Structure 1
C-alpha cells in the first residue's frame, strides 16, 4: 500500500523508444535517491533491451516497489524483478510469452535467394532462442522458492495466456496482492476482450457469471433449487403404533419455520417451509412446481450450450474464450473489423446508357457487389 513518504511514478503504455524509456525512469529515480519509490505499471510491454536496463535501474536504486495495475504483459512482467517488492491488484491480469520480432518477406526469389533467406531466418531464430533463455532464467530465478523449474517457465511462456493475481502469487512472480473493493466491470471486461481481438492477442479470461436463460432466470437460480432439495429429507407417511403417535405429538413442539432456502420459497410462493427435527415435507403440488422448474432449467441450459457450440465453431480463438458473453463480444470485435459498404470515392453510377454497351462483359452481382443494383 502507498506510504506518505513514497514518491509515485506512473508508467502507462509501451516500453520503447517512442514511449517509456530508461532515461525517463532514471531521471525520476535519481531525483528520489534514498527515498521510497512506488512505480505503478499498466503496460502491454515493449522492448527487451529497454526493460533490462530499467530493471537494473530499479535494482541500483534499491527501494522501489512495483505495483501492477490492470493488464500487464510481456517485458514489464520481468522488468519488475529489479524492484525490492512487487505488488499486483486483485483484479489485474498478467501475461508472459516468448519474444517475437517482425518478419516480412515478399517477392520473387530464385533458389539461391531462398536458401539465403532460410539461413537468415535460422540465424534470427537462434537470436530469439537466446533472448527467450535470458527471459526464462529471470522468471525461474524469481519463482525458484516455489519449486518451479526453467522447464515450467518455458511451458507457461508457450501458453501465452492471461493469469489472475492469485496465480501470479502462487508462481512467486509477485510478493503481495492488493485487495480490491470492486470487481472488473462488464464494460471494462468487454472493452479489453475487443481490444485483444483487434490486436490478435489472447483474450483474457474473467470469472464467468451465470448466463441468463430465456425466462429471465439463470443457472445459479437452478443451482439454488437443487442445493436446497439436497438438504431436504422427505418423510414418508407410515402407519404408526400408539407409541409412534405419541412421538409425533411430542415432535410437533420442535416444529419451526425454515426461511433459509429463499430460492425454493420464492418458487413455491411461501414465506418458509415447516421444519420438524431437521426434516421438511413438501406436497405433491409443490414437488410438481420444483420438477417443472428443474426441467425448464435444463431446457435453458441446453439453449445456452447450443449457442456456445455455434460460436465455438467460428474459430479456435473464439472457442478458447471462456463464457458466452465473452465469446459474443469477441465475435462482435472481429465483425467490426470487416469493412462494410462501398469505399469512399468508388461509387459507381447506376443505369447509365454506357452500361448497356458493356452488358456482356459486366461481372455478375454475386462476385462483384459494386455493380449490384441497390434496392
Structure 2
C-alpha cells in the first residue's frame, strides 16, 4: 500500500486555491459560506488555522491536549493573502505527515483521543474539501473534488458511514451538507480516527476500511510485516471489515487490529472481533500470527490487552472464541488469557471470558 497523506493534502489545497482564487476580487466578508453562519472570509481562515494546527499537533507529538498556540493574519490581509496562508498551512501539514513515522500519534479528542499521520492528513483534507464547498456555495462557484480524494476521507474518518451513490455526495451527506436517497438528513456528526490499544511489547492498531481493502487485495495494508505476513486469516478478517463497511454496520472499535511489535515496528499478526456485541453483550473474536512470530507469547499478550479493553465497556458482557479441537496452540493462548471452556461440538471447543474471571 503506497504511502498516503502528504500528496493528497497538497492536491486538496491546490484545488481549493485554484477554485477560490477565481473569486479573489470579491468581498468575502460580506458573503455567508453556504449553510454556515460564518462569512466566506472567516471560513477560509478556519481552513488555514486547522491545517497549521494539525501540522503542529503531529509535528509536536502533543499527547494530552492541543498545542497552545494560534495563528493570526497581519492587519489588512486580503483574500489573496488568505489563500497564500492556506497554501502554507497545507505545505506544513504535508511535510509533517511525510516526516512522521508510522507509529507517531498525537492528541485529537474524537473519539479515542489520538490520531496518527493518516488521521491528521485526512482531517486536514476533510476541512479543505468541506469548507471549500461552503465558500464555493456562498460565492456561486462550481466545485467538486475527485472521487478518489473524497473516498479516501470517508474510508479513514467515516468508517461507520455506508458508502453511497458517489463518494463526494456521501461525504456531503455525512457532514450535513446534502441529501442521499433513502437516508435521513444528518444534523450532528463526528469523524472517527482509528483506535490503538497498548500492550507490553505490542501495539494493537485498528485497521481502517482503506487498509482492509488493501489487505484483501493482497497488499500490506500500510504495515511492514515480519517474514510470512500477513497470514491468510488476517486477509479474511480484512474481508469481514469490508463487508461490514459496505453494509453500513461496521463499528470500528469492534473491527480488526494489527499487532505491531515495538522493537522493530513490524506487524506480527492480527486480532479482532467478528462484529459488534449482540443483544446479550456477547462478542466473538479471532486472531492469527505469521509463522515467524509464533511461540513468543504475542497472541496471549494481545488477547489480554484486548480483553481488558472490551470487558471494561458497558456493552460487552462476555467474549468468546471458537477453536478447532486439534489447534492446541490456540487453545493454550485463550487459556493463558483467562478464557474457560464453555461449550463444544464434534470439531470445535468454545471458550468464554467474563468480567471478574480469575
Quickly name the TM-score band, shorter chain normalised.
Answer: under 0.3
Structure-1-length-normalised TM-score? 0.24
Structure-2-length-normalised TM-score? 0.25
Higher-RCO chain (CA-CA 8 Å, sequence separation at least 6): 2
Identify, as 1 or 2, the structure richer in helix: 1
Instruction: Report the structure number with the largest CA radius of gyration.
Output: 1
